[in-house]
A and B are shown apart, each in its own frame.
Chain A
């Protein structure tokens, strides 16, 4: 099970992290991937300037995602690995 950690700390929250979470949840539901990937809220990932910060599993890299590019991010970084 892949975990998408989306930061909900204040900076990311203000940049719309709740909408990013909802977007991911919709994508996962639409494509029937519920048993392969899960979205989890996380607190500060240490990269507030990249808000909204997203981390895949326990990997080092922090991605900067917003509501608009969430689907593109999902296709590029998540889909291929499932």
Chain B
């Protein structure tokens, strides 16, 4: 299987290698004793693979191992900067490159509103003390000679949570961080990583093997449709069961429940609230709480599909422990929220799942007796932008709910921010905000195996393979009223 697995970059590859090694030792039960040897397995030397010297590479690997084993538990956030790995990219955003021809027109300095550009021997120089990073010089230059080298982490962060310390290393402000994980995939040096709970999950699976009173369920996010290109979903499910999970269930069934509950909640509360926002995406919810506290009471009180499916499974099986597996980093933070504690036990990412399957040497190619089919089309399309809105609209229509539903779909935090700004001044053209932090929706989540362009049609195609056509049909055997789907 390894030979067909493709990695997008060395960053992804090295992260995978560390996770796999940690998982392997945890499965063997030798992690504590051998964790300091992992650096020699990953970076055998004598030549370095990616950095200046082998000692630095090993030091970075040591930090990665720490993160793979849960990271610094004193830090409340899920995303951490690996101090040694941060390459201290230039702080100044705009600078004049060699392409500057020293022309006569000086459009750059003409365009600069702060007089920050001067010319020496015809060539332009930027006074970084005066520069306000407006970018007008860059746009004005006919030779495209001014480069925008904003740090990739800072550029990626939609919450303005990344700054720098005195030594120029990146620092995350956890008061602002919404745990969306965008910086993790954007840092070209792989210096930002999410904490992993892979070891806790492996220990739980071991306990379940010994103890019949523990049933560990894998709850798989619908974004799986675009993930395992080297194996079929059925094979992945079969592999997950071989890891020791009791059963594999689609989170999309939880999404079906959320669609129904959200539609009812909307109809009941929209008159009083004026605007209701979705609550499925924890990074979006966090963004509202941190940046628009005055709109916090507009957030839907419905739990997320992850919490809904966890509560359903635990309602059916009192021995259940739930491990959510998805493309999302923010979900790792969501399960630690006070009012949701005890619903979902752990969160793994698709990256971590791939590492676990390989650590256990499970051969997916010869693994064929898995199935994954619990939900409806609507639950499955929650994985893409616009899915929640369609599900809610479908319930309002089929249940004949009399309400004025005017959705505003926001794809990515930038769009969310625009809608929230309008909502704040009561000028939003709509009364239901669907917010997704990742552009494209969950299928573009930071812990996906593939970060290329995502095809929304693939999700819809996968949705149509669901045996249950719609939400009313997929929920027909459950007594949904017995399950609490409220956040508070």
Residues of chain A having any CB pair with chain B under 8 Å: 8-11, 13-14, 18, 21-22, 40-44, 48
- Chain A: minimal CB distance from B420 (Å): 39
Q: Mark B219-251, 1 if CB is under 8 A from A, else 0.
A: 000000000000000000100000000111110
- Are A13 and B467 within 8 A (Cβ)? yes
Asked whether A48 and B478 contact (CB < 8 A) given A14-B467, A43-B246, the answer is no
- List chain A residues, Cβ under 8 A from B313: 43
CA distance A10 to B219 in the complex (A): 12
**B217 at interface by CB-CB < 8 Å:** yes
Q: Mark B147-167, 1 if CB is under 8 A from A, else 0.
A: 000000000000000000000
Q: Across the two chains, which residue of chain B brings its CB closest to A10? A: B371
CA distance A11 to B373 in the complex (A): 8
- List chain A residues, Cβ under 8 A from B249: 9-10, 43
Q: Across the two chains, which residue of chain B brings its CB closest to A42? A: B316
- List chain A residues, Cβ under 8 A from B237: 10
- Are A13 and B373 within 8 A (Cβ)? yes
- List chain B residues, Cβ under 8 A from A8: 374, 477
- List chain B residues, Cβ under 8 A from A10: 237, 248-250, 370-374
Contact residues, B113-160 vs A (CB, 8 A): none
- List chain A residues, Cβ under 8 A from B477: 8, 18, 21-22, 41
26 contacts across the A-B interface (CB closer than 8 A): A8-B477, A9-B247, A10-B250, A10-B370, A10-B372, A10-B373, A11-B371, A13-B371, A13-B373, A14-B373, A18-B468, A18-B476, A18-B477, A21-B477, A22-B476, A22-B477, A40-B316, A42-B317, A43-B246, A43-B247, A43-B249, A43-B313, A44-B246, A44-B247, A48-B369, A48-B371
- List chain B residues, Cβ under 8 A from A40: 316
- List chain A residues, Cβ under 8 A from B317: 42-43
- Chain B: minimal CB distance from A29 (Å): 14
Q: Which range holds the interface residue count of chain B?
A: 20 to 34
- List chain B residues, Cβ under 8 A from A14: 371, 373, 467
Given contacts A10-B371, A10-B372, could you give 10 more A-B pairs where the C-beta distance is less than 8 Å?
Answer: A9-B249, A10-B250, A10-B370, A22-B476, A22-B477, A40-B316, A41-B477, A42-B316, A43-B217, A44-B246
Contact residues, B308-333 vs A (CB, 8 A): 313, 316-317, 320
- Chain B: minimal CB distance from A67 (Å): 13
- Chain B: minimal CB distance from A46 (Å): 9
Residue in A10, A11, A14, A18 with the greatest tally of chain B CB atoms within 10 Å: A10
- Chain A: minimal CB distance from B469 (Å): 12
- Chain B: minimal CB distance from A70 (Å): 14
CA distance A9 to B370 in the complex (A): 11
- Chain B: minimal CB distance from A40 (Å): 7
- Chain A: minimal CB distance from B448 (Å): 23
- Are B248 and A41 within 8 A (Cβ)? no
CA distance A42 to B319 in the complex (A): 12
- Chain B: minimal CB distance from A44 (Å): 4
CA distance A20 to B278 in the complex (A): 35
Q: Across the two chains, which residue of chain A brings its CB closest to B313? A: A43
CA distance A7 to B217 in the complex (A): 14
CA distance A9 to B317 in the complex (A): 12
- List chain A residues, Cβ under 8 A from B371: 9-11, 13-14, 48
CA distance A55 to B360 in the complex (A): 32
Q: Across the two chains, which residue of chain B brings its CB closest to A12? A: B371
- Chain A: minimal CB distance from B142 (Å): 61
CA distance A10 to B248 in the complex (A): 8
- Are B478 and A41 within 8 A (Cβ)? yes
Contact residues, B198-216 vs A (CB, 8 A): 215
- List chain A residues, Cβ under 8 A from B468: 18
Q: Across the two chains, which residue of chain B brings its CB closest to A17? A: B477
Q: Across the two chains, which residue of chain B brings its CB closest to A44? A: B247
- Chain A: minimal CB distance from B367 (Å): 13
